[in-house]
Structure formats: structure tokens, C-alpha cells
């Protein structure tokens, strides 16, 4: 129930684009990547909370994220809901992308990986990771290059960092998103592009969430 609620709130944030982005130190950058394959699991993510009505598609051509199935995603660099310092871009971190693993999704040829800072008191959409993989379902620590990953570096307080992996039937021409920059309110547009012109390219997704606190 906790995971489905977190997922519902996250996707509500993507839909509504709440613009409470935190101040970051790095200069803005805008880039798009490309990549390979996809995978799936069991039950659709339940829509809960105050934002639930915003998650349903208004038209048949809209992307309805609540209808996607969810697969288990895990990381050896997430402990008790807190990301390890080693993955951060801080004085004590090494700025290496976290280890991720999941079970293969039937019909997936590639996977899209995002890490989003959703802030501490609201939803920014600061993109820390944007990669398109092949059919591999195990990403070792440090897998992503610096052009695709920058570790958490909160300017103050505690921030929530969401990792989402999307299983795709076919690789998109490019992976949309403003790397190391705010993406409000366009994250849903990027997902729609990844879902394809006729929809249905996204098979399912995996999701994990952890915090990191300034000064840790």
C-alpha cells in the first residue's frame, strides 16, 4: 500500500507539474538520449491521494499511468529508505550511479532509467539520471556515465530521490528530459513521447524511493 501511494503521488506530480523546485548549484543543461529494451510484473499501480483524479486519461490517446503494471526494482545502495553517500555528488560522495536490479519484463527490448529529485516540501522535477539501457536488468554501481548521471547534492534539508525504470517494447529515437535541471511541468510529455505516437510502447515500470540529507 505504501509503495502504491508513493507511486500515485509521484505520478500525480508528473501530471500536475507542481513547481516547487529546489535551488541547485549546477548550471542548467538540456539533453536527450537514446537506448534499447523492456519488462513487466503484476498489479496496476493504484491511484490514491488527493491527486488521483489527475492520473486518469482524459482521452483514449492520453497516457494513463495508473493502468501500467509494476515490477520489483531494488538497489544495494539504498538502506532503510536512505541513499548511500557514495552515490552523491558531495564532499564525501563519489558521484557514481547506484546499483539497480530487476527481473526481465516479457516483451521488453530496453529500459529507460530516471532519477528525479521530488524535493522535501513539494515536487520539483530535478533530473539526476537519464539513461536508456539494452536488455540488461542488472546495472552495477557506476554504470551510468557523467553525461547521464549526477548524484544527489541537496543545497539544504532532506530531499526525496525517486528512481523509475520503464520497460519498453522498442527504443525511442531519443530519451527526452532536461538532465541536471528542472523538468516542471513537462515530465508527462516526455513519458508520452517514450510511449510512442500510438501509445503502448511502455509495458510496465519499477520504482524505488530514498532520501538524502544535506551534510550527511
E strands along the chain, which residues? Answer: 69-71, 73-74, 78-79, 82-83, 100-102, 110-119, 126-132, 138-139, 158-168, 202-213
CATH number 3.40.30.10 given to 2-213:
no
Q: Is the dihedral of CA 182, 109, 47, 54 positive or negative?
A: positive
Residues of the chain with pLDDT under 70: 1-63, 119-124, 185
pLDDT score for 198: 81
Looking at the chain, the number of H-run helices and the number of E-run strands are 2, 10
pLDDT score for 62: 60
Backbone torsions φ then ψ of 159, nearest 5 degrees: -120, 155
pLDDT score for 15: 36
pLDDT score for 79: 97
**CA atoms of 112 and 104, how far apart (whole Å):** 13
pLDDT score for 124: 63
**CA atoms of 216 and 208, how far apart (whole Å):** 20
Amino acid at each position: 500500500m505504501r509503495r502504491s501511494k508513493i507511486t500515485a503521488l509521484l505520478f500525480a506530480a508528473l501530471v500536475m507539474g507542481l513547481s516547487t523546485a529546489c535551488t541547485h548549484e549546477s548550471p542548467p543543461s538540456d539533453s536527450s538520449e537514446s537506448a534499447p529494451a523492456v519488462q513487466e510484473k503484476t498489479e496496476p499501480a493504484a491511484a490514491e491521494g488527493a491527486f488521483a483524479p489527475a492520473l486518469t486519461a482524459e482521452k483514449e490517446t492520453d497516457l494513463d499511468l495508473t493502468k501500467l503494471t509494476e515490477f520489483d526494482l531494488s538497489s544495494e545502495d539504498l538502506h532503510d529508505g536512505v541513499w548511500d553517500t557514495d552515490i552523491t555528488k558531495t564532499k564525501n560522495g563519489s558521484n557514481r550511479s547506484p546499483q539497480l536490479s530487476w527481473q526481465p519484463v516479457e516483451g521488453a527490448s530496453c529500459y529507460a532509467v530516471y532519477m528525479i529529485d521530488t524535493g522535501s516540501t513539494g515536487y520539483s522535477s530535478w533530473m539526476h539520471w537519464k539513461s536508456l539501457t539494452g536488455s540488461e536488468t542488472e546495472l552495477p554501481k557506476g554504470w551510468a556515465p557523467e553525461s547521464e548521471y549526477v548524484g544527489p547534492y541537496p543545497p539544504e534539508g532532506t530531499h526525496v530521490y525517486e528512481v523509475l525504470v520503464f520497460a519498453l517494447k522498442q527504443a525511442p529515437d531519443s530519451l527526452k528530459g532536461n538532465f541536471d535541471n528542472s523538468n516542471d511541468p513537462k515530465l508527462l510529455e516526455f513519458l508520452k513521447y517514450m510511449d510512442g505516437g500510438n501509445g503502448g510502447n511502455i509495458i510496465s515500470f519499477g520504482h524505488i524511493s530514498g532520501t538524502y540529507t544535506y551534510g550527511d
